[in-house]
Each structure stands twice: as C-alpha cells, then as structure tokens.
Amino acid sequence: MSLFNMGEKAYLMLADGQVFEGRSFGAKGTVIGEVVFTTGVTGFQETLTDPSYYGQIVTQTFPLIGNYGVNSQDNESAKSYVSGYIVREWCNAPSNFRCEGNVNDFLIEHNIIGIHNIDTRRLTRIIREVGVMNGVITTEDVYAKKDELLEKIRAFSVRDAVRSVTNSDTLTYTPDEKKFRVVLFDFGYKRNIRQELVKRGCEVIVVPAYTTAEEVKAIAPDGIMFSNGPGDPAENVEIIDNIKEIEKLGIPIFGICLGHQLMALANGGKTEKLKYGHRGANQPVIDIESGLTYVTSQNHGYAVIGDSIDPSVGHVSHINANDKTCEGIRYTSVNAFTVQFHPEAHGGPLDTSYLFDDFVKTMSKK
C-alpha cells in the first residue's frame, strides 16, 4: 500500500490562514497548538515523549519518520505531550531488532492527531522566515469552519505548562552502589537525565516542580538538578521564588534547559522568546573556556539574555555557534552551573555528557 494513499484527508491551517492539505495518521479529530519544527534525523520517539513539547504541534524536517519503529524502552516520559504531529512520510513497515510497533499505532495509542503527505520543507521555511505561529490539524473540512478555527488559533497560547506536566508524587530511584543523593526537580524532566545520574551512583529523588527549600533541606541531598520543561519560563513565578531560597542551602546545583532559564531568572537575569527556537540533535555550541565546539541536542523556544546576567553573579559559559545566544552559565555567587542544551541526549549526540561527571565532581568536593 502506498504511503501517500493511506488515511483520510487531513488539513493543517496556520494562524495566517495558509492551508496545507495532507493525509491523516494517528488519532482523528481537531487540535490547536504552536507549530514548531525539529531537525532530528533519529529520535522521533524521544521527541514524541519529551514533556518540553507540551502544547506544540511538532514538524519533523527529516522526510521519512518511523523506519526503525517504536519500542517500550526509549520513551522519555510515561505519555506523549505533543499536541499534534507533522511528517512528510511515515514508514508502515519498520525494521529494527528492537522494534515493537509503528509510529502510526503509537500516535493512536496516545491519542495524538497527525498529518502526513504535506510539504514539510515549505512549512519549515515559513516558520524560519515568519517565526513560530499557532495552527490547527483537523480531519474535518477546514474550509467549512475556517473563520471559526482562525479565531481559536489566534487566541491560543501555551499556559500553565509546568503545572500540566509535573508529577505530584515524590519518587526515589536507587543505584546498585549509592554514592550521592540528588534531588531532581520535575519541571517536565526527561527520563534519561535520571538514568545518567543513577548510572553515576546517584540516588535520585524526583520531586514535584513546586517543592520548597524546606522540603529539599529535609531530604538532605548532595546535589540538586533543575530539569527541562515546557512553556514560558517567566510564567513560573512561584518556582523562581522557591529557587531563590533553595540557592541559600549551599547545595551544588545543575540546571538543564528550562532549569537553566529559571535559575537565570532567580538571579536577576532575563529571558526572551526566540523567532523559531532551537530543536534538534545537531545544534553547535561553543564552550567559551576551552574554545571547543560541541554538537548538542536541544528543544527550547526561549533563551536567557546573556547580557542580563550580572557579572558579580555569574558569566556566560557557552554560546550557540549559529546565533550566539546564551547556552550556559557558570555562577560565582552560588555553587551552580546550568546549560540550555541537553547533555543527557538519549537520541544523541553524547558530546556533552561529561557535564554529568562535572556535577558529580562538584558533589565530591562538597
């Protein structure tokens, strides 16, 4: 069966009224979200289960998705958080020794509405030139409801993102040989962050996003990890206030992605929304101290404004080689360092996994 003949008709409409006609896959219905693109060649299952994509319709720029299938081991969270999914083609006959199913069935299982057989190259060019914009995927007649849908699209925004993805329970993960105890804040964390810590002998206590300094102190950790997560970082006023108190505990801190942004905001820095963000596994980052350039995995639409960090508080440690935005901060006022990219990078690359070793060394010195 031809890929282009599979599924009923589906539509993608952007906030400016442009309509893409394609074919439906995954679940049926209508969904509104912020349309973004990611450049990863592999790691589509990790993308689908990354909580940082909450509220977003994700476009894969690589033209064929699903050729190695899905499995039960590569999920980054317990469910899929993307609002919708856009691909050029999906593979209905995946082949890999770890394969347990195909991407279409995965989307149906997680109730994710998808569209394929559209020009994803053209769509990506629009987002790059205009910037991210809201859109709708629907299996209904988009033209019959165009004005109504456009009104809803333009009114949409991603709100309460962290509150929507964080777990309300505290969970403990213990390695065979325990060396350290780390509190991992769940702002929408990816499982491989936890696994990288456990692999290095850390007992990981995963706590809800709104855990206070007093609650952290009662756990008596050797280190604190602020995780990745979705949404506008400045929206999280309560968490930012908590971080200000958590810093006073004097416990080593490592922040990733949203954790990096929240830490900057707690220390007087500012954030900004990027035109179309950094999403994919091929983002070049320069380590200013060593001069080395690393290939990194990233997924964010906001960035810390490097110049907004007071020199008495810390300094920019990494920058993006493409647009020179801030990719890391080393703090001098507190025992902490943070990065915008993902050193755990389950789908690769693994260039910056050494940062977990640096975190362990910091805890050892303490």
Phi, psi of 133 (to 5 degrees): -145, 160
Question: What amino acid positions are annotated as catalytic residues?
Answer: 257, 342, 344
The 8-class DSSP code of residue 322 comes to T
How far apart, in Å, are the Cα atoms of 69 and each of 45, 48, 272, 339?
A: 9, 13, 36, 31
H helix intervals, 188-247: 191-199, 213-219, 237-247
Gap between the Cα atoms of 275 and 194, Å rounded: 31
- In sequence order, what are the beta bridge partners of 113? 26, 84
- In sequence order, what are the beta bridge partners of 32? 136
The 8-class DSSP code of residue 265 comes to H
Gap between the Cα atoms of 57 and 185, Å rounded: 25
Gap between the Cα atoms of 48 and 41, Å rounded: 14
Gap between the Cα atoms of 58 and 35, Å rounded: 6
Nearest to 124 by CA among 269, 302, 275, 225: 275
Per the document, the length of the chain is 366
49-61: b (≥16 Cβ within 10 Å) or e: bbbbbbbbbbbbb
